[in-house]
Chain A
């Protein structure tokens, strides 16, 4: 397909583009859902097409076509330049691109077992068995299991000479047990909510999750939650499990540090950011224990790849070091705003061939601290321990947030005691991270996947990763009602 995208680039250049790039993307998906040992659906999709980006006199235009014929690709390339020229109706500082070395490369997610080659009946049998074990727990109303697989093959060429072929494979699965009684609905998920845990991996990841082995536990917890008290309303010490830390990092670190958001380019949709360009090296984002990175090179993250959709190599950048804000998640265009010598952090990704690349989180990680979860809990005199995200909400500058979790326990003198249902907590981003006084060590640290990150107009969905371990925060308001 490289010839096809090179054709598009050449056509855009002939039509007047100073710079052009093009991607042919072919994406296959497979999705299975089982509920109460009945198949809710198996769905396979295949989507392919070409997206062409043209920069004409400093203005962007993008056009994408499902049609693969040469003439149609050339017509679409010319259309991209027409769209770029139309954008000049409103003057602006012309777009400049931070430099990148154009490469010829081939990259592929390392998998042990191709998830699309595993027979459907084996996948179904796994979900049916997990569903059966959840249903065996008295009081479980719904026992759901799901598996999702993605294979995205991208051929990228740019007018600067880059030619990259890349295949990214993602696999994931999860379980949800739901218990309903007297108008109360309680859910427990494994390994986490939102169709489970997805990674850049093959079917070996599904085997490693041990879904049937955890089915009874989450079924039992869902039923126990029906009889639990509501999480009390108080200001207290809060310990968050690693899977809730994923959501906390995503909303209150990942999104606010996207440089396009900081520059106002996302204002009309999900908003801007409280972080300013001048905050680098100065803003106290969190306590000394808080170090955060964007790292597309780690093994298995949903934000792990070889090259972004501008042909920039995957890399690791420090966002916050020992509590002080240091750097943004950026693109070639936005990095150029930071001044001479600045380069992209390699975070431009598009949702399929149909969409223009945007700055998307790669793997935004809270670097590990010290100690196990049990040691953090053991060192807590009084507080609440919450696990597994249930809902999320944050304001249009990423300042005021509120999260709901599936389950919580009172911590008393270092031990988990009473179970609570419907837990939630709220805070202000920098105050909250500033109150962090414990982050779990490498033995607790793992990468989680967020498969449904929304951004942009038209709306795009990205799969991003977060490496986290459990962490503790002081003086947090919980039980908001």
Chain B
């Protein structure tokens, strides 16, 4: 099986690109990714895959002009060719006055996030995990989902002397269980080590939701109290970040947080921060420019403190990079990949007991932006929605469409869960968020299932 290339061999390839005549500066991003994904549907494995890919992305600066070229030829010759191609582009490109220079040499933490057992996971082991999950279902129900074990090496090197390398592993098991009279339930778990994935628990949780959401009834849309489980909260936090937390959008007036620094934007109980170094998340300790990551408080006690920056947006705002660059070229600017919504002290049961007439929402589906400055998004509920009456779950209801301002929802938070879940609304980011009880949430139409 494939294994890590290792920091020394990766550096040897990077050095080939750095040794480029005619350039004022060179930055090399190297990636090596391998792993398998066992996909299942109708309680059978229908698409099971394995792949190994590499990338050498070279950014060249010449006379204030920038060129970027990427190849998956992960060899010294491939690195030299990518560098030459990037230089060729830079020589004809227009000058980039917003370029803020390459990241200086700096130390990055070793997070020890590579798990040999995860990297060595076989297709047979993933199939066994799926079989264990499926075994939790009663007759008349079936499961669909994916069991993924991925290993990644990332390295950045530049002509300013910065060189950082980090390997990590990640495993995700997701499932939707459906059947009976049309009910469905889902469960997802993401971890750095495959040993932290419990297929039995995932299957049981999804099955119980599917079982308990049978014979869903019609309910009229409107404004309801809601108890949002963690996966639904992840949608709100991730879209808020997408619309608003990037320093470039804030500086350019495109963000709901433009001009809001130091102002209250939601309930006092809300804390949102980004912390790639926390043991409770995944990823690497530096960004895609090689700037070390650190904890950044974005919203504290409901007050917006700061957005996140790469070197370009930091220059634009007269500050320093916070270590949130994405791979170049990146017209969208910086983005927080490791968000946290601070936990509270409530159990889901407390939230349900505290609801007079509202909805328990498992998950949102296919959400999208309606109004970015008002932070309004729309989407559907999915895989289990229930009416709560007088503190108890009354019955399952058919899916609703919501159209809701995220900041308005976060201004009406009544309880925050004491436990948090690592979730991923966007494939390239992971957030750790708790459940929330919110006093009012707008459901604008309904579906037929």
Q: Which residues of A contact B (CB under 8 A)?
A: 31, 33-35, 38-49, 51, 59-67, 79-80, 82-84, 86-92, 119-121, 124, 128, 141-142, 144, 178, 180, 183-185, 263-271, 274, 354-356, 391-397, 399-400, 402, 404, 422, 424, 426, 428, 456-459, 477, 480-481
Q: What are 18 inter-chain pairs, A to B, with CB distance below 8 A?
A: A34-B94, A39-B96, A46-B70, A60-B48, A62-B48, A63-B51, A64-B51, A66-B72, A82-B123, A89-B130, A120-B92, A264-B142, A268-B146, A274-B449, A395-B366, A400-B380, A424-B370, A457-B39
A-B residue pairs, 7 tightest by C-beta? A41-B329, A92-B44, A86-B123, A87-B45, A267-B144, A89-B127, A268-B144
Inter-chain contact B52/A66, CB cutoff 8 Å: yes
Residue of A nearest to B135 (CB): A90
Q: How far is the CB of B79 from chain A (nearest CB, A)?
A: 13
Inter-chain contact B380/A393, CB cutoff 8 Å: yes
| Residues in B116-141 with C-beta less than 8 Å from chain A | 122-124, 126-128, 130-131, 134
B191 interface residue per 8 A CB criterion: no
Inter-chain contact A457/B72, CB cutoff 8 Å: no
Inter-chain contact B427/A45, CB cutoff 8 Å: no
Q: Add 18 more A-B contacts to A33-B331, A47-B72, A404-B369 (CB < 8 A).
A: A39-B65, A42-B66, A43-B70, A43-B328, A44-B86, A45-B70, A66-B52, A90-B40, A90-B134, A180-B252, A265-B42, A267-B178, A268-B176, A271-B365, A404-B368, A456-B47, A457-B47, A480-B445
Q: How far is the CB of B326 from chain A (nearest CB, A)?
A: 12
Q: Which of B52, B134, B446 makes the CB contact (< 8 A) with A65?
A: B52
A389 to B145, alpha carbons, bound, how many Å? 31
A266 to B427, alpha carbons, bound, how many Å? 17
Q: Which residues of B contact A (CB under 8 A)?
A: 36-54, 65-74, 85-86, 89, 92-98, 122-124, 126-128, 130-131, 134, 142, 144-146, 148, 174-176, 178, 186, 252-254, 328-331, 365-373, 376, 378-380, 382-383, 399, 401, 403, 427, 444-449
Contacts A142-B252, A426-B444 given; does A402 touch B401 at CB 8 Å: yes
Q: Which of A45, A67, A142, A394 makes the CB contact (< 8 A) with B69?
A: A45
A424 to B44, alpha carbons, bound, how many Å? 40
Contacts A39-B93, A268-B176, A397-B449 given; does A90 touch B382 at CB 8 Å: no
A354 to B148, alpha carbons, bound, how many Å? 15
- Residues in A whose Cβ lies below 8 Å from that of B130: 89-90
A281 to B330, alpha carbons, bound, how many Å? 48
Q: Which of B40, B176, B373, B379 makes the CB contact (< 8 A) with A393?
A: B379
- Residues in B whose Cβ lies below 8 Å from that of A60: 46-48
Q: How far is the CB of B32 from chain A (nearest CB, A)?
A: 9
A99 to B10, alpha carbons, bound, how many Å? 46
Inter-chain contact A185/B124, CB cutoff 8 Å: no
A141 to B97, alpha carbons, bound, how many Å? 18
Inter-chain contact B427/A41, CB cutoff 8 Å: no
Inter-chain contact B399/A395, CB cutoff 8 Å: yes
Contacts A42-B93, A457-B39 given; does A87 touch B48 at CB 8 Å: yes
Q: Is the interface of B mostly helix, strand, loop or mixed?
A: strand
Q: Which of A44, A45, A67, A396 makes the CB contact (< 8 A) with B382?
A: A396
Inter-chain contact A185/B372, CB cutoff 8 Å: yes
A86 to B126, alpha carbons, bound, how many Å? 9
Residue of A nearest to B370 (CB): A404
A345 to B110, alpha carbons, bound, how many Å? 51
Q: Which of A35, A87, A120, A424 makes the CB contact (< 8 A) with B331?
A: A35
Residue of A nearest to B176 (CB): A268
Q: Give the interface centre of B47, B89, B444 by most chain A CB atoms within 10 Å.
A: B47
- Residues in B whose Cβ lies below 8 Å from that of A65: 51-52
Residue of B nearest to A62 (CB): B49
A50 to B48, alpha carbons, bound, how many Å? 16
Q: Which of B68, B97, B98 makes the CB contact (< 8 A) with A42?
A: B68
Q: How far is the CB of A130 from chain B (nearest CB, A)?
A: 14
Contacts A62-B47, A395-B399 given; does A38 touch B96 at CB 8 Å: yes
Inter-chain contact A63/B124, CB cutoff 8 Å: no
Inter-chain contact A399/B449, CB cutoff 8 Å: yes
Residue of A nearest to B367 (CB): A393
A224 to B92, alpha carbons, bound, how many Å? 36
Contacts A59-B45, A92-B46, A394-B366 given; does A399 touch B447 at CB 8 Å: yes
A59 to B445, alpha carbons, bound, how many Å? 41
A180 to B253, alpha carbons, bound, how many Å? 7
Inter-chain contact A185/B373, CB cutoff 8 Å: yes
Inter-chain contact A45/B370, CB cutoff 8 Å: no
- Residues in A whose Cβ lies below 8 Å from that of B39: 268, 457
